[in-house]
Amino acid sequence: MKKTLLTIAMLCAGQAYGMDFILDVNGKFNQPKIAADVAAKGGGLKSCIPQIGVCQVAFGSVNAAAASGLALVPDATAFAPEPAEATLNRNDLTISMDATYNNPPASGNNDRFFDLQWGHVAVGAVDAWNAGYRGQGARVAVLDSGADADHPDLAPNINAALSRSFVAGEAWDYPGTTTANHGSHTAGTIAAADNGIGSIGVAPEAELVILKVLSANTGSGSSYGTMQAMVYAADNDVDIINMSLGLAVRRNGLFDVKDTPYDTSDDVRFDVGGKDGIAQFIGAYSKAATYARQHGVTLFASAGHDATDLDKTDSLMHLPSGLPAVNAISALGPQLWGANAGADLDQLAIYSNYGQSEIHFGAPGGDYSSLNIAGGNSLCTVAGITRPCYVFDFVFSTGNNGWYWSVGTFMASPHAAGVAALIVSANGGRMDPPKLEAEMRRLALDLGKAGRDDVYGHGKAYAPAN
């Protein structure tokens, strides 16, 4: 699987400037003064987030920014990495909108693809639904690559009036040109409607706010845009944020610019006034997450795909999952579930990051280990659909004008966010983050060593049932 990475944003800002930077403003916020100060140093002010005192500015080069004397760091680029399945037969992993299959499937549920969603079994979603908890009263912001606003499984639950794009040139409802739209997939895992059509979300009556921070074409986006979206969500009464995206930084001050986290020879160091620029970058990012949490938002993010013990790595840190205000989610998945419905659903996925001090909860993200074991490429049939057996170990959800299977901690985080939405329903509505997180911990299944552990954190995310 392609790992998460961090690059210096090379975004055009008119003819005069070619690189974007984040300015962390100290002291009283005065935007006209900030604009004047930046211009005097040879740069240009693009926008600001007054609530947290952070701005995006543009300079012609790294050297020009470094020489400005301003408290700048490069605007690192977050990615939804190209997953392992990109190298596989796409026809095996997608289902078009006009496909016809057995209906209803074996479970008796009239959403024809529900039997493909083993993740709902893993988190106890059906028991929560039967107890009356279906996500009603929960507003969930999906910070991702937008979504297919016309998808019949998504449209009923999307709040179009609040949805926004923080990606220049792309509307929030532009899902790209292929079925595999990352944002549609994560949104559907959280709250695809229970409408008798296709798949179902963990919390099928939750409200979705689509906040595009990654391009649907490239899968990448500005970290500043993610910060903007977190603050916007907090200011618009969002209960839960899901961030299925990430970037890797090193606490030793190095920016990994070529997706080689264990080869520092090609990394870039950016100091601010003789001090470590990475620390300032993390600090600015943390301001946005902390603002959201202080305004009643519980945040979830994918833990990353470096297969690394984040407690023992030399200095690698995954963002935003590594921020204090964010719940980091590891990925769990089965092997050959399509051939054995009783397969263990709770194994750590081969690619997932882990670490006792970093992981808060584990959740279904799927695994591709079956590609390399006996039977993985044999044919299996689930709910009347026949595919190579390894496919069914992936997570099935909505896409652009269809549905598809994908795999990653990016699929795990929305399962956890969906469970959180069910808990909000069980509580009767709005919950402060400490209370919601405490209930998540109480309900979580302690599958590893007693207490918090490397793989599951406080436990596997699990839904309320009474």
**Domain residues for 303?**
85-246+297-443
Mean pLDDT for 25-39 is 92
Residue 459 lies in a domain: no
The answer, as to whether pTM is greater than 0.85, is yes
Residue 462 lies in a domain: no
Residue 228 lies in a domain: yes
Mean pLDDT for 353-369 is 96
Of the candidates 294, 322, 297, the residue with the CA atom closest to the CA atom of residue 51: 294
Q: What is the pLDDT of residues 261-284, one digit of tens each?
A: 667 776 767 676 666 788 889 999
From residue 418, give the alpha-carbon distance in Å to each of 30, 52, 67, 91, 460. 39, 28, 46, 28, 13
Residue 7 lies in a domain: no
Residue 458 lies in a domain: no
Q: What is the pLDDT of residue 251?
A: 78
Residue 271 lies in a domain: no
Of residues 347 and 101, more confidently modeled? 347
pLDDT above 80 for 188: yes
Residue 336 lies in a domain: yes
Q: What is the pLDDT of residue 195?
A: 92
Q: What is the pLDDT of residue 109?
A: 65
pLDDT above 90 for 209: yes
Q: Can you tell me whether residue 48 is helix, strand or coil?
A: strand
Domain at 106, CATH number:
3.40.50.200
Residue 464 lies in a domain: no
Q: Which two tokens mark 332?
A: 């769990």
Report how far residue 405's alpha carbon sits from residue 419's, in angstroms, rounded to the nearest whole number. Answer: 20
Residue 99's pLDDT band (cuts 50, 70, 90): very low
Tally the domains of the chain. Answer: 1
Winning range, highest mean pLDDT, from 17-21, 64-68, 357-361 = 357-361
Residue 366's pLDDT band (cuts 50, 70, 90): very high
Give the gyration radius of the chain's Cα atoms. Answer: 21
Contact 106, 383 (CB under 8 A): yes
Of the candidates 202, 197, 205, the residue with the CA atom closest to the CA atom of residue 95: 197
Report how far residue 195's alpha carbon sits from residue 349's, in angstroms, rounded to the nearest whole number. Answer: 31
